[in-house]
Amino acid sequence: MHAKIAVLPGDGIGEDVTGEAKKVLEAVAERFGHQFMFTSALVGGAAIDAFGVPLPEDTLALCRKSDAVLFGAVGGPKWDDPTKPVRPEQGLLGLRKGLGLYANLRPVRLNPLLVDASTIKPEVLAGTDLVVVRELTGGIYFGARGRTDDGKSAYDTMTYTTHEIERVLRVAFELARKRRRHVTSVDKANVLECSRLWRETASQMAAQYPDVQFEHLLVDSCAMHLIRRPASFDVIVTENMFGDILTDEASMLAGSMGMLPSASLGEGTRGLYEPIHGSAPDIAGKGIANPLAAILSSALLLRYSLNLETEAAAVEAAVDQALAEGYRTSDLASPGMRVCGTSEMGNLVAGII
């Protein structure tokens, strides 16, 4: 297979971890006889410094011409001045909108070898294997916002259409059919009108999937049950802001945000793949960042954009083997483990492949 992959390291540890994910994809190409062409571009704070905008037109054009996008992270204290009109995060939001990526998949699978890395009791964590499907291009993050003239009142508007809700729900139901056939739709229908529309639409969609077990859950109850009974969930689907919060909570089930990948998908096969962690500027360039979330994101790239399931499984198996051999980055380390740096972990996974 020939594939064009856009690489957008972004800021902070984004460059550190995407470099290791690229290394692993190169190992996949060598082992399985593929040709992957990588082209890098700026986004986020790095793009603001170079061009004054977080998403240059050339970067978006490159992504549109590519089969998939491997993304790092954006943001950092350097660009945190709230008085400035441009922020690094606008680059990622613009990419999602510009590429039509409306469904974010965040799998949370607990590797039994990492059970000690989580603060949750092992007996509660046992069997945890879920996916959160988060709507990406609607809701309060994209609604009208502003302040009154005197600056003493502010507003952010949440809006959703049935079309936006239906398309992300369909992703969740189709995914559930390939897993354990259970969908949990999360909303705040006891308070929000948008959530009442979401709940009505979800109930109608569920009727089209009689083979999938379906339930509604309020977002505050979901937040509680993710800690109380995480193994009971299969596919969770929810709107933009709720998904943003719940997935960060769910990441702690796996012991570290450095372990969780994500895929942002739309119509067709092009997707954007990124670790869910942030740019962690305090450790950028020090060679200690955990690259496994980025590497596992590259596995999702192989699976969803390139339809290379065997290759995706090989990457995931290689990560499991490296952990089984006792290797850990510092965020996962416990007594008796072999602590290694960013590049060493990437080399281990690539070497196993």
pLDDT digits (tens, 9 = 90+) for 105-140: 999 988 888 877 778 888 899 899 999 999 999 999
Could you tell me if 97 and 117 are in contact, meaning their C-beta atoms sit under 8 angstroms apart?
no
Q: How confident is residue 195, by pLDDT bands cut at 50, 70 and 90?
A: very high
Residue 107 lies in a domain: no
Using CA atoms, how far residue 182 sits from 54, 173, 192, 209, 215, in Å, is 39, 8, 25, 10, 8
Instruction: Please indicate, yes or no, whether residues 263 and 250 belong to a single structural domain of this protein.
Output: no
Q: What percentage of the chain reaches a pLDDT higher than 70?
A: 99
Q: Which one of 234, 254, 274 terminates a domain?
A: 254
Q: Print the domain residue range for 33.
A: 1-102+259-353
Instruction: Please indicate, yes or no, whether residues 169 and 93 belong to a single structural domain of this protein.
Output: no
* Residue that wins the pLDDT comparison between 236 and 149: 236
Span 158-182, mean pLDDT? 97
CATH of the domain at 24: 3.40.718.10
Residue 223 lies in a domain: yes
Could you tell me if 107 and 130 are in contact, meaning their C-beta atoms sit under 8 angstroms apart?
yes
Residue 113 lies in a domain: no
Per the prediction, the chain carries an average pLDDT of 94
The total of structural domains in the chain comes to 2
Instruction: Please indicate, yes or no, whether residues 135 and 244 belong to a single structural domain of this protein.
Output: yes
Give the best-scoring range by mean pLDDT among 117-121, 327-331, 332-336: 327-331
Q: Which one of 254, 284, 301 terminates a domain?
A: 254
Instruction: Please indicate, yes or no, whether residues 263 and 297 belong to a single structural domain of this protein.
Output: yes
Instruction: Please indicate, yes or no, whether residues 126 and 230 belong to a single structural domain of this protein.
Output: yes
Instruction: Please indicate, yes or no, whether residues 168 and 133 belong to a single structural domain of this protein.
Output: yes
Q: Which one of 194, 219, 254 terminates a domain?
A: 254
Residue 112 lies in a domain: no
Three-class secondary structure of residue 50 per DSSP: helix
Q: How confident is residue 253, by pLDDT bands cut at 50, 70 and 90?
A: confident
Residues labelled catalytic: 141, 188, 220, 244, 248
Could you tell me if 317 and 38 are in contact, meaning their C-beta atoms sit under 8 angstroms apart?
no
Pairing status of strand 101-109 against strand 261-266: antiparallel
- Global pTM reads 0.90
